[in-house]
Amino acid sequence: MSHRPFPGRRSVLRGSVAASAALTLPVGLGAAPAFARSGRPEAGWGVQTGDVTAHSGLVWVRSDRPARMIVETSATESFRDPRRWHGPLLGAGTDFTGTTRLHGLPSGEQIHYRVLLADPDDPRRTGEPVTGTFRTASRRRRDGVRFLWSGDLAGQGWGINPELGGYRIYDAMAKLDPDFFLCSGDNIYADGPIGSTQALPDGSTWRNITTEEKSKVAETLAEYRGNFRYNLLDANLRRFNAQVPSVVQWDDHEVRNNWYPGEVVAATDTRYTEKSIDVLAARARRAFSEYFPVSTLRPGAAEGRVHRVLHQGPLLDVFVLDMRTYRNANSPDGQTVDPQGILGREQLEWLKRELARSRAAWKVIAADMPLGLVVPDPMENKPNFEAVAQGDPGAPLGRELQIAELLRFVKHRRITGTLWLTADVHHTSAQHYQPSRAAFTDFEPFWEFVSGPLNAGAFPASALDGTFGPERVFVKAPTASNVSPAGGYQFFGEVDIDGDSGELTVRLREQDGTVLFTQTLQPGLVGQ
């Protein structure tokens, strides 16, 4: 398959690694690393880029004190004739984080950037620059597109283990040199405290880096912020962030397991003194917007939402869904009328409009929850369901009604090239949906690919719901629940779109990059 030859990034991360060296070594096994403060602002948490398109992107940084964010970009690592961007003043109101929007960039080019943090009272005093790089999306079809996806980080108490090299999966992903990384939710486990140790089945001990904010469930804004900071203690993740731009969505664990709007935490859950999910979600959403460069959530953005579409040239549009903010309450999900569903009416209509407008060869629907996999809600004392499917293989009911409406729309508007990518269930699999096997038949066949976790407990394969006729073509999952990352079963997926033929190839990969399953799809065809 032809894919444009990408320039090696070589040593572009030297500044990032040097600036964050104080974070790479634990202060005592299992303890959180500490900053070595100097007289100038420091960016020890690294840099990130997000929502990169053909001509724009966001650059993120966190300072250790008040500072003015300055970004310089260049076509070369030498930063000859750099272009300068004056960013926001970073202060306590955003936990010293900030993003700067870059615009007017050349398409299909490698962009080198460095972030400087200037003393607000003396702009001449700047900290050590932190460097990174990214590629803008290409408007040339022949260049092709390659990206990765996964989700679920630091779940079930499995945090950063220095003895195992931390979040090693990010180094394996970086070696593939993707155009971007789609993180499909559960970027943190705000409801999952991380202790210093956990026992493993073989009698050995898993040892975590720990922090104060990760010692309990998150309730306050400070605790949610601390959850996002925790992951940035990992050097593998910081290197990856400086090399690969991200497209980030959220799911439940950014707030609390299986949450929905209007929910009240049960009185029996004594871990929480704040019982209103809406209050917790507002705090979590603010921290999420501070710690990720998301175009629709940055300060001053008009939309203020997670769902969005990112155009990646003539071959690809990515439709990022929010299956949390607008959903109805988790329930047995057997209702015959359900206008709100899991997306909410407004988001569903937005998705239909944007799919109909898209002229990209491939339309990836980035869903934070699967369609045909049954995901129960174990937090309740009744048979409630968390995702779309509820285990009834008959005609659509509950949240399935909304998905049926969407699938019918795609068919009747003759929208080709759709596929669904998701995570959430902590195993990897490929499902093909076929009307001839389904109770609901008014749709064209499509694929759903599942990956993850990145660094969390792995779980057995979920049951399938036959309403939309899924066939599990491939699955790799443990037979036991909550298998630690030391036991394997950590996964990510790759999508590679060939610039010449337009073929799209999906590869499901293990933590070290080993390919487990490959499926190639043809552009412009229905019934694949």
- Cis bond leading into 453, ω under 30°? yes
d(CA 407, CA 526): 13
The encoded tokens of residue 233 equal: 């203690």
Q: Please, which residues bridge with residue 365 across strands?
A: 319, 420
Q: Mean pLDDT for the chain?
A: 92
Task: Determine the longest span between alpha carbons in the chain, in angstroms.
Answer: 69
Q: What is the sign, positive or negative, of the torsion defined by CA atoms of 325, 256, 280, 187?
A: negative
Q: Distance of alpha carbon 525 from its chain centroid, rounded?
A: 29
The predicted structure's pLDDT at residue 379: 64
Of 126, 129, 102, 101, nearest to 115 (Cα)?
Answer: 129
Mean pLDDT across the stretch 252-259? Answer: 97
Please provide the CATH number assigned to the domain covering 14-135: 2.60.40.380
Weakest mean pLDDT among 122-131, 397-406, 499-508: 122-131
DSSP for 247-294, please give it: EE---STTTSTT--TT-B--TT-TT-S--BHHHHHHHHHHHHHHHS--
Pairing of strands 122-126, 145-150: unpaired
**Residue limits of CATH 2.60.40.380 in the chain:** 14-135
Beta bridge pairs of residue 492: 509
Band of pLDDT at residue 378, cut at 50, 70 and 90 = confident
* pLDDT at residue 299, rounded to an integer: 74
Q: At what angle do helices 277-291 and 221-231 cross, to 10 degrees?
A: 40
pLDDT of residue 426: 98
Pairing, β 246-248 against β 180-183: parallel
The boundaries of every CATH 3.60.21.70 domain in the chain are 141-521
- If one counts every other C-beta atom within 10 angstroms of the C-beta of residue 11, the result is 10
Res. 36: pLDDT tops 60: no
Range scoring the smallest mean pLDDT among 33-47, 59-73, 310-324, 465-479: 33-47
- CATH code of the domain occupying 141-521: 3.60.21.70
Task: Name the more confident of 388 and 78.
Answer: 388
pLDDT, average across residues 272-294: 97
How would residue 11 be classed by pLDDT, with cut points 50, 70 and 90?
very low
**If you average pLDDT over residues 168-181, what whole number do you get?**
98
For 267-409, where are the E strands, in sequence order?
308-311, 316-320, 362-366
Name the one residue in this structure whose structure tokens are 């936990």.
95
Residue 450 · residue 428 · CB < 8 Å: yes
pLDDT at 7 over 50: no
Which one-letter DSSP state was computed for residue 215? G
The tokens describing 72, both together, are 């310089």
What are the C-alpha distances in Å from 95 to residues 181, 221, 236, 240, 268? 25, 10, 23, 22, 32
Q: What is the pLDDT of residue 38?
A: 61
Q: What confidence category does residue 32 fall into, taking pLDDT thresholds of 50, 70 and 90?
A: low
Strands 308-311 and 57-62, by their bridges, are: unpaired
525 burial level (CB within 10 Å; 0-12, 13-18, 19+): exposed
Which of 430, 450, 455 minimizes the C-alpha distance to 240?
455
pLDDT mean over 426-448: 98
Instruction: Write down the residue that tokens 């699938």 correspond to.
Output: 407
List phi, psi (to 5°) of 365: -95, 110
> Quick check: 26 pLDDT over 50?
no
Confidence band of 30 (pLDDT split at 50, 70, 90): low
Q: Above 70 in pLDDT, residue 20?
A: no
CB 146 within 8 A of CB 494: yes
pLDDT interval class at 382 (50, 70, 90): confident
The predicted model gives 21-48 an average pLDDT of 63
Mean pLDDT of 168-173: 98
The tens digit of pLDDT for each residue in 196-250 reads 999 999 999 999 999 999 999 999 999 999 999 999 999 999 999 999 999 999 9
pLDDT per position as a tens digit, 83-139 = 999 999 999 999 999 999 999 999 999 999 999 999 999 888 889 999 999 999 999
Q: Is the pLDDT of residue 306 over 90?
A: yes
Mean pLDDT score, 323-330: 97
